[in-house]
Structure formats: structure tokens, C-alpha cells
């Protein structure tokens, strides 16, 4: 009986040690997880090496793919009316530690500051530089001076919440958001421009919208310029879309009668090739709105036997 009692006490001790070990392991894991939270230091604004511009910069630690967030470095300007403008932004790459700066901004005289936005998906927290920076241009060189008096802390001033503790500054501040559409991508002849519905303060984006027909506008502009600026010979216009020439393109064609135009386009999954010969009559091709479709051009000038692949 004594042996059984001893075994029970030993088993209870082993289980107790095991449970304590699991609790300790869990506590250690929580401490390790907390230690991996990204940290920002040395956040500010400085002149570029050539003295012609400024950039925001920061150092960071413990920022990995397991951090559960994305961080972006921003350079701001504080306008005279108190408004804040985002000038530059740069995504911070994951690393256990690193230093980063934005591109160089060709600065004008004024007040600037920096921040790091930490996007957790559901909210964006901002960590601001502790000071504003006054930029002056003397003898063609940019001079940046940290403002240490008379402006207050950037964290407090930008949020109008008074003084903050060091812990609050380290954590960042919930952004009040000021939403507007910002140009995210310029239109090309093959791709519409893209607008981001973005906060002008922290840079958070909630939606993207393509601008309809913006690529078409670029295509027409580039086509007219290509024909207008061509030497004698032949101009090749190649697109994967089925569109029309507008009155501006038709006008250039009528003026450059010494230039032939080979047009490649796609319609219902098939490549087509139509050639407008030099001196070809393009008068009257446009409809009441000045547009001439590619299929109509093909009817007028004929389909070439071999389309460019």
C-alpha cells in the first residue's frame, strides 16, 4: 500500500511539473511573440547627400512575415493652413533589423515630418517623428533643421489630443482618416489608369478603381504623335484591342499622305491586319462623331493576307 501511495504522489508530482512546464512554455512563447512586435527608431527627415532635396528615414527591428502587419515609411509636409500632404511613401521590406529612406523629394521651404504606418488589416497605426523639420534653401542648398521648441510633439499635434506618454508614442496613433482618390497608376495604351481611395494622412487604401477608356485616350494620343512624327515610309500600330481612330488621328493621316500605316488589331479572338497606303484617301471615313472603327477601315482598304503574330 505504501508503494502505491508513493507512486500516486510521484505521478502527481510529474503531472504538476508537466503542467507548470506547459504554462512556462506558453508564457515564454507569449514573451517571444511580444518581443517580435516591430519597433521603429531614429525616425525623421534629413537632406539628401547632394543637398538638393530631402527624404524621410527610419531604423526598424523585429519586422518579419510573422509580424502580422505591413509597414510603410511616409514623408509629409505641413501646409500653412494646417493641412497635411503626403509627398512620398515607401514600403518597408521585412527584416530582423534595417535602415530605410524614401526617395529624394526636391523640397521647397516649409515644415516637414515623417511617419511609419503599420497596417494590421483592420486598422492602421501611425508612429510619427518626435519633431517637425524646417527646410530652408540657402545658396541653392537645402538645409534641414529639427524644430525642438514652439510646435509641440508631432504625435500630439497631428491628432489634437495633447501630450502622450512614451508608451503611447511607441504604439502609434489611430488615424482619423481623410479619404480621397489618388492616382495609383498612370494610364498606358494597353492599361487604364488606376485610382486608389486613400487616406491623405496615413496612406491606408480601402478601394481601387480603374478609369474607363483612359487607355483608349492614351492609345489615340500616341498613335497621332507616332504618325505625325514619322519619317517617310511606314508606321506600324499594334494593339490587342478592337477600337476606332478618332478625328485627331484621321486628321494627321490626311496631313501625312507620305506615310503608310499598318494597323494590327484583334477582334473576336482573331488577329487582323489592315494597311492604309501612303496617299490613301481617308476623307469621309469618320462618322458623325469623328470616329472610324477598325472593321470599317478593313472594309475600305482590305484585309492583308498575313496578320502579324
CATH number for position 73 = 2.60.40
pLDDT > 50? residue 10: no
d(CA 77, CA 108): 10
Whether 188 is in a domain gets the answer yes
- Secondary structure element (H or E) that encloses residue 252, with its range: helix 247-255
Residue 240 has which C-alpha cell? 490587342
Asked if residue 166 lies in contact with residue 153, where contact means CB atoms within 8 angstroms, the answer is no
C-alpha pair distances (Å), 175 with each of 84, 122, 227, 270: 13, 12, 50, 51
Task: Judge if 199 and 219 occupy the same domain.
Answer: no
Task: Judge if 167 and 71 occupy the same domain.
Answer: yes
Task: Judge if 50 and 169 occupy the same domain.
Answer: yes
Whether 231 is in a domain gets the answer yes
pLDDT bucket at 157, cuts 50 / 70 / 90: low
Task: Judge if 64 and 153 occupy the same domain.
Answer: yes
Task: Judge if 144 and 263 occupy the same domain.
Answer: no
- Domain-terminating residue out of 151, 175, 199: 175
Task: Judge if 121 and 226 occupy the same domain.
Answer: no
* Closest of 212, 213, 268, 220 to residue 240, by C-alpha: 268
pLDDT score, position 114: 93
pLDDT score, position 168: 37
Whether 2 is in a domain gets the answer no
State how many domains the chain has: 3
d(CA 53, CA 47): 6
222 vs 35, which has greater pLDDT? 222
Task: Judge if 45 and 147 occupy the same domain.
Answer: yes
Of 12-26, 145-159, 219-233, 258-272, give the lowest mean pLDDT range: 12-26
Task: Judge if 50 and 171 occupy the same domain.
Answer: yes
pTM for the complete prediction?
Answer: 0.46
Task: Judge if 277 and 162 occupy the same domain.
Answer: no
Q: Span 80-85, mean pLDDT? A: 75
Task: Judge if 87 and 102 occupy the same domain.
Answer: yes
Asked if residue 102 lies in contact with residue 90, where contact means CB atoms within 8 angstroms, the answer is yes
Task: Judge if 277 and 161 occupy the same domain.
Answer: no
Which residues are CB-contacts of 301 (< 8 A; sequence separation ≥ 6)? 274, 275, 276, 277, 280
Which residues are CB-contacts of 218 (< 8 A; sequence separation ≥ 6)? 187, 188, 189
The DSSP letter of residue 156 is: H
Asked if residue 206 lies in contact with residue 179, where contact means CB atoms within 8 angstroms, the answer is yes
Phi, psi of 237 (to 5 degrees): -115, 120
* Closest of 128, 126, 92 to residue 202, by C-alpha: 126
| Enclosing domain of residue 100 | 39-175
Whether 193 is in a domain gets the answer yes
Q: Span 39-58, mean pLDDT? A: 91
pLDDT score, position 79: 80
Surface-to-core class of residue 17, CB atoms within 10 Å of its CB (0-12 exposed, 13-18 middle, 19+ buried):
exposed
pLDDT > 80? residue 149: no
Amino acid at each position: 500500500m505504501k508503494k502505491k501511495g508513493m507512486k500516486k504522489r510521484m505521478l502527481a508530482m510529474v503531472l504538476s511539473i508537466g503542467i507548470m512546464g506547459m504554462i512556462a512554455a506558453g508564457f515564454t512563447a507569449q514573451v517571444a511573440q511580444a518581443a517580435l512586435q516591430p519597433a521603429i527608431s531614429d525616425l525623421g527627415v534629413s537632406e539628401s547627400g547632394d543637398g538638393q532635396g530631402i527624404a524621410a528615414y527610419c531604423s526598424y527591428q523585429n519586422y518579419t512575415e510573422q509580424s502580422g502587419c505591413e509597414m510603410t515609411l511616409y514623408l509629409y509636409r505641413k501646409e500653412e493652413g494646417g493641412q497635411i500632404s503626403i509627398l512620398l511613401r515607401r514600403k518597408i521590406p521585412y527584416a530582423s533589423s534595417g535602415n530605410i529612406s524614401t526617395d529624394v523629394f526636391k523640397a521647397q521651404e516649409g515644415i516637414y515630418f515623417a511617419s511609419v504606418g503599420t497596417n494590421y488589416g483592420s486598422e492602421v497605426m501611425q508612429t510619427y517623428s518626435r519633431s517637425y523639420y524646417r527646410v530652408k534653401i540657402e545658396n541653392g542648398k537645402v538645409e534641414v533643421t529639427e524644430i525642438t521648441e514652439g510646435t509641440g510633439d508631432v504625435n500630439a499635434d497631428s491628432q489634437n489630443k495633447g501630450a502622450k506618454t512614451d508608451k503611447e508614442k511607441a504604439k502609434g496613433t489611430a488615424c482619423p482618416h481623410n479619404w480621397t482618390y489618388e492616382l495609383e497608376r498612370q494610364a498606358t495604351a494597353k492599361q487604364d489608369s488606376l485610382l486608389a481611395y486613400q487616406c491623405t494622412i496615413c496612406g491606408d487604401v480601402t478601394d481601387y478603381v480603374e478609369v474607363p477608356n483612359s487607355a483608349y485616350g492614351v492609345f489615340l494620343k500616341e498613335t497621332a504623335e507616332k504618325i505625325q512624327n514619322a519619317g517617310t515610309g511606314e508606321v506600324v500600330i499594334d494593339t490587342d484591342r478592337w477600337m476606332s481612330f478618332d478625328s485627331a488621328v484621321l486628321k494627321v493621316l490626311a496631313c501625312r499622305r507620305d506615310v503608310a500605316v499598318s494597323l494590327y488589331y484583334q477582334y473576336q479572338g482573331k488577329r487582323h491586319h489592315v494597311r492604309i497606303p501612303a496617299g490613301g484617301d481617308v476623307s469621309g471615313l469618320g462618322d458623325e462623331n469623328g470616329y472610324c472603327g477598325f472593321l470599317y477601315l478593313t472594309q475600305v482598304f482590305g484585309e492583308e493576307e498575313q496578320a502579324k503574330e
